[in-house]
Amino acid sequence: MEKSHNRAQHNNSMCVRAHAAALLFSLTFLPLTGLAAVSPRVISAVRLRLFDLEQLMMMKLLVFILLVIIGVGAAGIYGALHNQISYTVSPEYFTKFKFQQFGYADTQAPERIRASFVGFDASWWMGIPIGLLIGIAGFIHRGYRQMLKISLQAMGVAVAFTLLFGLCGLVYGFVQTSNFNPADYRYWYLPDGVVDMRRFLCAGYMHNSAYLGGVLSILAAWSYHVFVKVKTKGAL
């Protein structure tokens, strides 16, 4: 039954497109040839179709704006939660580096809370390009509800991908620093007085990997959009 319904919708859509093409041809060439006027029924159907398309585009634009806003919030929250992991790895990475960098050295709040503040401040802006690019890809879906639903799922894919990439960076950091030479990190900021330098460096590996993962996550989100589109047998 569902396949029959979809086939009927497709046939109706093809019929309207045929009428639209006929109207465009008629409005362009018939006045020049003096042939009969286009049927009022065809004109009405095309006008209705154009109105529907305009309404659909307006709804998709609203969804697009909403996705950017959600992206900013999601990126900020992700950063706050991400820093709970990196703070667990190396509190010194924050107490001797990040708190000073982001102006939270003298803030009257527990260190873990301040670590979340740092994470939000450091990552919320990433939600703008991520929301824009994931939202743009969402236009390939037929309806605005589909666009919203699948784009939110794609955003979840991006968050998961970024987290996984950051954790891989953490593991890579532990491997790289098993026997490390401080001279190899002369281009890193290494403050004085760090007690556990290895953990400090591992937290740095995790943060750097998370930023790279955030960029690559856009490709993962796009791939998810295309995968869903192809899976549902929709035309790209």
Cα separation of 86 and 119, whole Å?
Answer: 10
Cα separation of 182 and 107, whole Å?
Answer: 31
DSSP helix/strand/coil, 99:
helix
**18 in any annotated domain:** no
**129 in any annotated domain:** yes
**115 in any annotated domain:** yes
pLDDT in tens, 165-193: 999 999 999 999 998 888 889 899 999 99
Sign of the CA dihedral with 155 first, then 124, 161, and 81 last = negative
**30 in any annotated domain:** no
**33 in any annotated domain:** no
How far is CA 211 from its chain centroid? 14
Give the burial class of 68: count Cβ atoms within 10 A of its Cβ; 0-12 exposed, 13-18 middle, 19 or more buried. middle
Cα separation of 130 and 90, whole Å?
Answer: 28
**29 in any annotated domain:** no
Cα separation of 223 and 109, whole Å?
Answer: 41
Please state, as a whole number, how many other Cβ atoms lie within 10 Å of the Cβ of residue 21: 11
The amino acid that residue 197 corresponds to is M
Q: Average pLDDT, whole number, for the chain?
A: 84
pLDDT in tens, 118-165: 999 999 999 999 999 999 999 999 888 999 999 999 999 999 999 999
First-to-last alpha carbon distance for the chain, in angstroms, is: 25
pLDDT of residue 181: 86
pTM assigned to the model: 0.75
**37 in any annotated domain:** no
pLDDT in tens, 26-39: 545 445 444 445 56
Question: In which element (H, E) is residue 8 found?
Answer: helix 2-33
* Portion of the chain with pLDDT greater than 90, in percent: 67
Structural domain tally of the chain?
Answer: 1
Cα separation of 26 and 29, whole Å?
Answer: 5
Task: Quote the domain boundaries for residue 74.
Answer: 56-231
